[in-house]
Amino acid sequence: MTLSRLSFIISFILSTASISGQKIYSPTLSLQREDIFGDPEHAVSASIANEFETFFFNQTLDHFNYRPESYATFKQRYLINSNYWAGANSSAPIFVYLGAESPIDGATTIIGFLTDNAAQFKALLVYIEHRYYGESIPLGMSFEEALGDANVRGYFSSAQALADYAAIILHVKQNLKARDSPVIVVGGSYGGMLASWFRLKYPHVALGALASSAPILYFEDMTPQDAYYSVVTKDFKEASETCYQTIRDSWSEIDRVAQEPNGTSNLSKMFKTCKPLESGDEVKSYLKLLYARAAQYNDPPRYPVTQICSGIDGANTSENGILGKIFAGVVAYNGSSTCYVNPPTNVSQTSLGWRWQRCSEMAMPIGITSNSMFQPQPFILSNFTDGCNYQFGVVPRAHWVTTYYGGHDIELILRRFGSNIIFSNGLRDPWSTAGVLKNISESIVAIFTEKGSHCLDILVEKQTDPDWLVLQRKAEVEIIKGWIAKYYADLLAFKQ
């Protein structure tokens, strides 16, 4: 088990931590896989990923106010690769990756859409780190200090992040005298939401956006709260009906065993946990999020859902019955290890940072009511609010995202407003339930695959990629080429 794998698993466990007696169940909204680093199959554009230079921009702390503190600045990190750029004189394009809820380190290795297409677009590549992650933390603080200070973390918001991106992109363009170079922003997951919102709010900065797996409709009542877990369920059911049944039956079995004398201890043994379990709920939370994660990142060629189900279906039933099967699923997913479920690790920035973002503004109501292989766990806003208030002293602004960015009746609203956004999705990704899956206008389009997983299209190309994925990426590239061609024609007419 690699270090990165460990840190991802712990981020799952943490996101079910009991706060003020209220569990905040939260599937991670992140595009990073645990096993992506060091995968030899990812070698295709690995050399490009190493050609980046690191810069720091003197960023304004608070773009929207003019209080004395608003004028404070901090160093925001961004990475540039200009080796493939045809230059300002030919108005060659600029591809910008909008960093999301993690440090930008490694993004150039993971997000292949920019590096894989740099040569054919002759594009400048820019990867910008999101404020409060990695090395882009205000006031010279550590991540923990910044998140621990109510006044400092208060500037950690999506609107500020978008303004940061605008300021950096304009700065880069000015430095390179590349005023006429069209900018295409790319983002995935939360970063995909940022990319689509960026095109809508800053059309004068970005010509278009590729918003991969952006669940922009998972707010208020726009998407049923159980949409996410109903797709997790569907993915498992489609992989194997018996596997689905086993998982479905396993929760009450865990409850039953946990309530026996020495039940928690027995569970610990059954699951070879790294340290003794505190309750049966601990293993349930782990499994729930393991399945969510497998469904979300159900990437070819490995297909973790199939992998888990092979473990479950293929297990020797004589050993520990249902729970023996479930454990076989865990082993199939994780590989052979000395222990499972609760290995020691550190809290990741992604885990803590995203919890703050959910509690302040990204108040996505995700719950389980029915249509599920899981036990019901409805999202109750007041419980969520209590948890946020307890941990951060804030009440989530549950209506802000739709007030500032919209979302309701999006087909009606954007039918005659805006342009040049690709909403890409894979329908096996549970987040796709809150994505845009219909073309809205000629140039605000939905590109999805039946078998795709979370943000798959913007990851680095692999030799093993299935045809449908190759075709999806090709379609996206063609659309972006079309935007740029139209822009160059407009530019020519405009300059005359």
In whole angstroms, how close is the CB of 321 to its own copies at the nearest point? 48
Task: Give me the amino acid identity at 422.
Answer: I
Instruction: Report the nearest approach of its own copies to the CB of residue 212 (Å).
Output: 21
Would residue 15 show up in a list of annotated catalytic residues for this protein? no
Comparing CB distances to its own copies, the nearer of 338 and 403 is 403
Residues comprising the chain, all counted: 496
Q: In whole angstroms, what is the distance from residue 81 CA to residue 98 CA?
A: 15
CA distance 346 to 326: 26
* Nearest distance in Å: CB 458, its own copies: 23
Closest approach, Cβ 135 to its own copies, in A, equals: 22
Residue 42 falls in the annotated catalytic set: no
Q: Among residues 30, 348, 454, 465, which one is catalytic? A: 454
The nearest distance, CB 389 to its own copies, in angstroms, is: 11
**Per annotation, catalytic residue among 299, 429, 457, 465:** 429
Alpha-helical regions (H) of 41-157: 46-49, 107-110, 112-121, 143-148, 150-153
Burial class from Cβ neighbours inside 10 Å (0-12, 13-18, 19+) for residue 89 reads exposed
Name which of 144 and 411 has its Cβ closer to its own copies.
Answer: 411
Q: How far is the CB of 445 from its own copies (least distance, A)?
A: 14
Nearer to its own copies, 231 or 414 (CB): 414
* H helix runs in 335-466, sequence order: 349-360, 381-392, 400-404, 410-414
Dihedral sign from CA coordinates of 347, 353, 354, 356: positive
* Residues facing 221 on adjacent strands: none
The CB density around residue 301, as the number of other CB atoms within 10 Å, is 10
Task: Between 67 and 382, name the residue whose CB sits nearer to its own copies.
Answer: 67
Say which amino acid occupies 137.
Answer: I
Query: 444 forms bridges with which residues in the sheet?
Result: 421
Residues that bind its own copies (CB under 8 A): 60, 62-68, 70-71, 150-151, 153-157, 159-160, 163, 166-167, 170, 179, 200-205, 360-361, 393-395, 397, 399-400, 402-420, 443, 486, 490-491, 494
**Cα-based distances in Å from 66 to 25, 159, 160, 285, 404:** 37, 16, 14, 45, 20
Tell me which H or E stretch contains 30.
Answer: none
Q: Can you spell out the DSSP letters for 68-122? A: GGGG-EEEEEEEEE-TT---TTTT--EEEEE--SS-STTHHHHBHHHHHHHHHHT
Q: Which is nearer to its own copies, 415 or 474 (CB)?
A: 415
- Catalytic-labelled residue, pool 26, 157, 189, 348: 189
Q: Which residue, 345 or 391, has its beta carbon nearer to its own copies? A: 391
Distance CA 444, CA 449 (A): 17
Is residue 171 among the annotated active site residues?
Answer: no
Please answer whether residues 280 and 264 qualify as being in contact, where contact means their C-beta atoms are separated by less than 8 angstroms: yes
Known catalytic residues are 189, 429, 454
